[in-house]
Amino acid sequence: MSQNEQMNEEDYLKRHLQDLEEGKKPTQSQNFINSDIPGPSENTSNVDNSRTSDLQYFNFDVRELPCGQFYPAGTLFMVRPAQVKEIQAYSMVDDTNFYDIVEKMNDMLQSCVRIKYADGKVASYLDIKDQDRLFLVFLIRELTFQQGNGLSVSVRCSCGEENVIELKRENFVYFDIDEKLVKFYNKNTGSYHFKTINGKSFELTPPNIGLQKAFSEYIIKENNDKRSPNLAFLKIIPFMLSGRSHITYDGIKAKLIDFEDMDQTSFQFLNAAVGKMTFGIKELKKACSCGEEVHTDMQFPNGASGIFVVHDAFEAYIKE
């Protein structure tokens, strides 16, 4: 086997990024209209040749993510704008099919997001927490449509004023982290460690996209084979796989056997604990001119496709 064949995708990416770091100084930050978005840090650089793999990534502190505390300390996430071909692929999303929406968003993250750990190791979108997906999709959107192209919802304040709330980071409100969880958080593992009165220990952390994909495939296979999946199992087990970004079909089957053998106390505890672990974007907010803050649920105006498909493109781009 040649040395090239022994390098996995991650090694290639890491080497490539190291090359970039030694390259040119960033210039693209000057194009940023939205000052909310930090420009490239010294770890990224602009490249002007046309290879798609050289597209510029912008570095962000992982703590900005809704699930930021569940990544190892010092993790960065690197995001680049979507290219036309990626928007073309996304534009075919079926707005009525939840599975397809998740898949198309995953494809977008696969193209536009990398994770860089403190030791320099670069990982793919599979390490991204499932509940950070939406935040990152909207961040890619902000980077892609820097000239505006706002996506917004209209909310009436109690004072009567109609407020237009744009779907962008500064207007997002996250779910609060349940205060009862806080003291069980372990900074080193980025997870919660619990001991229960029946002498059991459990480690829980929000699952990443790699696990979400593995469980989605498992559900599809069970449905195709006319088996009804155990929904309690599917709700809880992905949270119990800290440190992993993949599990095989047989691995899930083995976990299911253990799960169905579980004692009552453990199940009740885990069910309640996972029930407290809702993160991500909860709602949108904006300060009304009257001083009140208006809130509305997180939503997709014009459907999930509308995140990257310009709604009134015909009217906007036709030359009269």
Nearest-10 Cα torsion for 38, 245, 55, 43: 50
Query: Is 159 near Zn ion (CB under 5 A)?
Result: yes
**Which residues are CB-contacts of 90 (< 8 A; sequence separation ≥ 6)?**
82, 104, 105, 107, 108, 305, 307, 308, 309
Q: Is 19 in the site for Zn ion (CB under 5 A)?
A: no
Of the candidate spans 8-16, 160-168, 222-230, 300-308, the one that interacts with Zn ion by CB under 5 A turns out to be 160-168
Token code pair at residue 243:
């440190």
For Zn ion, how many residues bind (rule: CB under 5 A)? 6
Asked if residues 152 and 166 have their Cβ atoms less than 8 Å apart, the reply is: yes
Q: Does 292 bind Zn ion (CB under 5 A)?
A: yes
Residue 8 or 158: which CB sits closer to Zn ion?
A: 158
Nearest approach in angstroms of CB 148 to Zn ion is 25
Quote the least distance from Cβ 165 to Zn ion, whole Å.
13
Using only the alpha carbons of the chain, give its radius of gyration.
22
Give dist(CA 304, CA 99) in Å, integer: 12
Phi and psi angles of residue 161, each rounded to the nearest 5 degrees, phi first:
-75, 140
**Of residues 157 and 219, the one with the C-beta less far from Zn ion:** 157
The shares of helix, strand and coil residues in the chain, as percent rounded to the nearest 5, are: 40, 15, 40
Q: Which stretch binds Zn ion (CB under 5 A): 61-69, 150-158, 179-187, 252-260?
A: 150-158
Min separation Cβ 61 and Zn ion, Å: 33
Q: Do residues 261 and 200 make contact, with C-beta atoms less than 8 angstroms apart?
A: no
Q: Is 73 in the site for Zn ion (CB under 5 A)?
A: no
Minimum CB–partner distance for residue 288 and Zn ion (Å): 3
Stretch that binds Zn ion, among 40-48, 106-114, 153-161, 244-252 (CB under 5 A): 153-161
Q: How far is the CB of 290 from Zn ion (least distance, A)?
A: 3
Asked if 107 interacts with Zn ion (CB under 5 A), we say no
Q: Around 107, how many Cα atoms within 13 Å sit in the side-chain half-sphere?
A: 16
Interaction between residue 290 and Zn ion (CB under 5 A): yes
Q: From 74-82, 83-91, 240-248, 282-290, give the range in contact with Zn ion by CB under 5 A.
A: 282-290
In the complex, minimum distance from the CB of residue 158 to Zn ion, in angstroms, rounded to a whole number: 6
Report the distance separating Cα 293 and Cα 150, nearest Å. 20
Q: Which is nearer to Zn ion, 256 or 288 (CB)?
A: 288
For residue 164, state whether it binds Zn ion (rule: CB under 5 A): no
Q: How far is the CB of 287 from Zn ion (least distance, A)?
A: 9
Burial pattern 223-252, b for ≥16 Cβ within 10 A else e, equals eeeeeebeeebbebbbbbbbeebebeeeeb
- The pair of structure tokens assigned to 290 is 């009257």
Per CB under 5 A, residues contacting Zn ion are 157, 159, 161, 288, 290, 292
